[in-house]
Each structure stands twice: as C-alpha cells, then as structure tokens.
Structure 1
Amino acid sequence: MIDITPRAVTGTLAALCALVMGVAIRRGATCTVAAVNEIIDERRCGRLLALIAASTLVLGGLLLAHSFDVLPSLPASAPVTRATVWGGLMLGLGASVNGACALGTIARIGAGQWCYVATPIGYYAGCHVAARALGVEPPLAVHDSPALHASASIAVLLVAIVATFAAGALHSRFARTTRGVSRSTPEEDRHASWSPHVATSAIGITFVLLFVLDGAWTYTDTLADLAQGHAGATCSRALLFGALLLGVTSAPVARAMRGAQARATRVTALQLARCLSGGALMGWASLMIPGGNDSLVLVAMPLLRPYAWVAFAAMSFAIGAASLSCRLLRAHRQRETSRLA
C-alpha cells in the first residue's frame, strides 16, 4: 500500500493551484504594461482596475484565512525609502524594455512568443549581479501588516465586491458571445480569452489557496532566492514554477497534440536582447524594492504595505513615461519622413 504523506497532498494541491493560475494568466493576458498602455491609447483603465481587484480579492481571502487561523507566516515587509522609488522606476523601465511585466512575460510565453523565455534568465542574472557584484541588500525587514487587524466581516465584503465585478464582466462577455460579435470564426471562439476581471479573479483565488497551502509564492521570488543562494525551499518552489509554466503552455501543447499548426512567433536577436536586458533590469530592481511586480500585486499590496503601493505607482509612471516617449519619437520620425518625401 502506498503511504501518502500530508506533505505530498499539500504539495500536489499547491501545484494544481499554480497550474490553474498559469491558465488564468495566459487566458487573461494579465500585464501591467498592457494596463498602462490601455490608459494611454484607449483612455480606459479596465486592466489596471482588474489588477487592483485581484489585490483586493487576495486581501479578503487572507483576512478569511486569518480569521480561521489557517494563515501561515507572512513574508517580510520593508520601509519606504528612496531605493523603493528608484526600484519602482527601474522595474517599470525594465518592463517597458522587455515589452511585458513579470506576469505579462508568462502570458507571452504561453502565447508562443518564445523569445520571452529569455526574460526569466535575464531576471535571474540581474538578481545575481545586483546581490553579488554590486552588493545590493534588501531593505530592513518588517513583519507586521495592518491589513490583518481588520474583522472577518470586512473580508466577506471585499470578496463579495470583487466577485460582483467578476460576475458582471463574465456575464457581459457571455452576452457578447451569444450575440455572435465576439469572434469571427469557430476556432477563435474555442480559444477566446477571458476578460481581465475574470482572469485576475481566478489568479487571486488560486493565489490565496496557494498561500494557505504553501505560503506566499511568486516565480520572481523563486528566481531571486536562487540568485542569492537561498536554496532552502527552492526545490519545491521550482516545482511550482514548473506547474505555472505547464498551465501557461497548456493551450499550445493541446493544439500540438491535436496536430494543429503552432502559432509561435519568430525569435529575433533584437527581441532576445530586449528580453534579457529588460529581465535583468527588473531583477536588479526587485532587490531594491524588494519584490517583482507579481509579488507586489499579489502579496505586498493586499497586505497594505506602503512600500508596495509606492513602488507600483513608480513602476506605472515609468511605463507610462516610456510609452509616451516612444509614441512621440515615432510621430516625430513620421513627420520628418513625410516632410522629406
């Protein structure tokens, strides 16, 4: 008879949560860069609100877990310093160079844009160089969180609010689909993307379950721990990263098994260089803040830690400034070209 230990059961459930989270990231194309560009291009903030809703949902879930005394130890926090602001700006610059944030990178890999495999490699290299060669040290740890002093009724209210938004988004999308205006072909209907609110709600729910089962986990934290030589629990965390990647690539794998043609994009040297350098900048910045943008959105911001909100605001500002600068530069070049023509 096979002896199944509680640790094996917990690890399996945690891996399933990471797998589902990967599916949600891929289907929702969750990305801070896309959220900021949506504000600039379309004057809409749906994706940004979806990210904040995910943080709110995680907060409600953590409050409920805390009220039932099943919440594990919290990760360390940090004070707000100048390094927090500079780290947030560098994180946004790195995401702009890369073309996607940490969550968006995983979504791009799932979409068959294989050049983004270089981003985690660059992230690891950036953390390693910053920690070893440049001597960047994480800020002084602070373990308390004001969020967990709220009552369980607040948690229920927060979860209900986010669930209402997600249900509304899902109903709206279903209504558009049934009227036949969402996709042009049956093939596109089968691979229809989730709305941002539905995707981030699924990410928030699975992250809370993962938090209760195995503690706070993000793949960027795993890369940072490996780069700094903290190999204590990185083996199990690396398995979670593998489950996340499996969930993200489930659609391309399923298409390949059916014999369908892969929709991968061509890998170029320029894009590889952008992914490596952008990942390295984000890795370096994560030690200054500390944490990558997935750690900020899913861990530190729900715990109402001020440094996370400051860093995320600085990151969003840097992404917006870089995006506007690129647009102005392209417009100037177009005017020069038309003038010379």
Structure 2
Amino acid sequence: MSDLITPVAAFALGTALARANSCTVASTRRLVIERRSDWLLGLLVAISWSGLTLSLFALAMPGRTYMPMQMPIALPLAAGGVLLGVGATLNGGCFLGSVRRLGRGDLNYLFTLAGIALAMAVVGRLFAGGSPHLAMAHGIANLRPNDSIAWATAVFAPIAAYGLWQATSRRRETKLALIAVGVAGGVVYACNPDWSYTTGLARAVQGQLDGNQSSAETGAVALVCGVIVSSALKHEFALRRPRLKPALGCLFGGALMGTGAMLIPGGNDTLMLWAIPGLTAYGPAAYAIMIATIAVLMLAWQRFGPEPGNRARGSKPSG
C-alpha cells in the first residue's frame, strides 16, 4: 500500500510547498529583519497538522504506522543543529525551501543536492555501521501508547484549529497550503519514513539503492514534480541557469546541511514533519538550535555586513 501512498502523498506535498511559506530560513529572516513572526507560526501550524495526521494513522493502523524513535540529546545533535542553520543560511534556503526553489526552475539548487550528497558520502564513511540517519529510518518504533497519542492531540489540536480558522475565515491560500504540507507530510512519513530525497541521496552515495526501496525514490521525484506542476499552474516556473557565486553558496551550504542532517539525524524536513509531530524530545531541540543559529547569523550580517544566501545575491528568499 505504501508503494502507492508514498508518491501520491509526496506529489501533494510538493504542490503545497510551491504555495506555502515553508522555508525556515525565510521565516526566521522575517522574524529577525521584519519583526514579524507569522511565517514561523505558520510552520508550527504545519507541524501540528502533521502531528494530528500521524496520531490518526497510529490509531487507525496500529502496528503499521511508522513513528520516530527517541534519539539522545547530546553534542552531535547540537552540532548538527548549528550546521543545519549555517548551511541553510549560506544556501539561501532550508531542505524544503531548496526543493521549492529547484522546482521553480532555479538550477543553482542542483548544487545544494550535490553538496548534500557529498557530505553524506564523506560523513557516512565515518560510521562503521552506516549513517545514523539510515539507522533511524530502519530502526523505527511502531505504535506509541494511547496516552502518547492523547498527548499529541492535546498539544497539536489547538494550533491546528487556529491555522484552519485563519485559512477559512481570512481566505489565506498560504495557510491552506501549510495545512496541506502538514497533512501530506504526516501521511508520507507515517507510511514510509524512508521516502525523503535526503535519505535517498544517503542510500545512493553509500550504494544501498535497491528495488525494495523504489517507492522511496519515487516519492522524492514526485515531490519535485509536484512543485514544478504547481509552480507552472501559477505561472511561477522559470528556468534560471546557475551562476558561480550562488552555485558555490548552494554547494557549501548543502554540504553543511548534509553533515548536520547526518549528525542529528534528519534535515529540517524530517524534523518538521516527523520528529516533532512524533513527540520526540530531540526534534524540537535540534530545530530550535537551527532557528537560533540562523537568527544569530542574520543579526550579525545585518549589523556587520551583507546578508548571506540568495537574497544577498539578488534574488528572493526561499519562503
């Protein structure tokens, strides 16, 4: 069943990403530079809807719903969060923002993927038993106790309801898109947490691709296709050839992001749509460190020099 659900849900996630302010870098920049927290609050809405979706799947399909297992909050996680923040800032977009920009035709972000793959190839060799990211994906805890699901509902339902009220009463397309990001993300992670393009890149560079994981790779392709189709329908798709300075920023930023994702484990896409909604302790910790790092860099560049990332190079942020 997951062979069908994964690409369909991933495509839906891609179409929603193209219309949502879902980039952590752009959202943090909006808070630091413009003193507006609405985009970060929107990310919390997406997280909450993903949490509700995971809980519903866990109740409806006990023993068949994938939930993240707890990981230790230790130095590697903190280092990973910092690297995610620095890398995403240099890159001009987080994992989700990079897919959005690439799907809109900005080919500089192909170098982000190259940087992530390079980092995973190098860092993966440092772990004799394989990367921690892959260990997490394959060592999944199944259904949580019912009281854990009840806690998830209590935590996420009010925020999810607030997001739905904003989307319907004020007719905000971006809020509806964020809800769709949360629901689609929750579905795809509940059925196949190995689906993401970062996990696919990790398997590819370590020579672990096989026919049994085809739905995961299909999901990654479907995600990008969803962004392309949605952007084209809104007449926002335009090919942009790589330029040296942005491409180098994407390459180095992607390498740092990939390293951070290996250490946590998981990129901010996994943190937002699986680890935090799955009520892990490490998810909020790593994500908070990432956001704090981005905020510190934004404040520093605001005061002492030009802002990093693609906005400083003459283009709009990835949000």
TM-score tier, shorter chain, comes to 0.7 to 0.9
Q: Is the 8 A contact 1:224 1:283 kept in 2?
A: no
2, 9, 13: which one aligns with 2:5: 13
1:210 aligns with 2:179: no
Cα separation, 2, equivalents of 1:199 and 1:43: 23
Measured against aligned partners, the alpha-carbon deviations of 1:155-197 in whole angstroms (never above 9, x if no partner) come to 666665344323333235438xxxxxxxxxxxxxxxxxx32x3
Q: Is the 8 A contact 1:59 1:147 kept in 2?
A: no
Aligned length: 301
Cα separation, 2, equivalents of 1:172 and 1:207: 24
Measured against aligned partners, the alpha-carbon deviations of 1:93-151 in whole angstroms (never above 9, x if no partner) come to 00001000000001112232221122112111111111126879528868559965426
Cα separation, 1, equivalents of 2:65 and 2:171: 38
Cα separation, 2, equivalents of 1:117 and 1:278: 12
Determine which structure has more spread, i.e. the larger CA radius of gyration. Answer: 1
Query: What corresponds to 2:164 in structure 1?
Result: 167
When residues 148 and 216 of structure 1 are mapped into structure 2, their CA distance, relative to the original with a 3 A threshold, is farther
Cα separation, 1, equivalents of 2:185 and 2:193: 10
Superposed, which structure 2 residues align to 1:1-341 within 5 Å?
7=1, 10-70=2-62, 71-132=64-125, 138=132, 148-150=145-147, 160-171=157-168, 173-174=170-171, 194-195=173-174, 197-215=175-193, 217-232=195-210, 233-254=212-233, 263-330=238-305
TM-score of the two chains, using structure 1 as the length reference: 0.78
When residues 148 and 217 of structure 1 are mapped into structure 2, their CA distance, relative to the original with a 3 A threshold, is farther
Q: Is the 8 A contact 2:68 2:140 kept in 1?
A: yes
Cα separation, 2, equivalents of 1:145 and 1:134: 25
SS in 2 for 1:150: helix
Q: Is the 8 A contact 1:94 1:279 kept in 2?
A: yes
When residues 162 and 31 of structure 1 are mapped into structure 2, their CA distance, relative to the original with a 3 A threshold, is same
2:163 is aligned with what amino acid? A
Q: CA RMSD in A?
A: 3.0
TM-score of the two chains, using structure 2 as the length reference: 0.83
When residues 53 and 29 of structure 1 are mapped into structure 2, their CA distance, relative to the original with a 3 A threshold, is closer
User: What is the identity percentage for the equivalent residue pairs of Structure 1 and Structure 2?
Assistant: 29
Cα separation, 2, equivalents of 1:237 and 1:217: 4
Q: Is the 8 A contact 1:77 1:143 kept in 2?
A: no
Deviates more, 1:111-120 or 1:91-100: 111-120
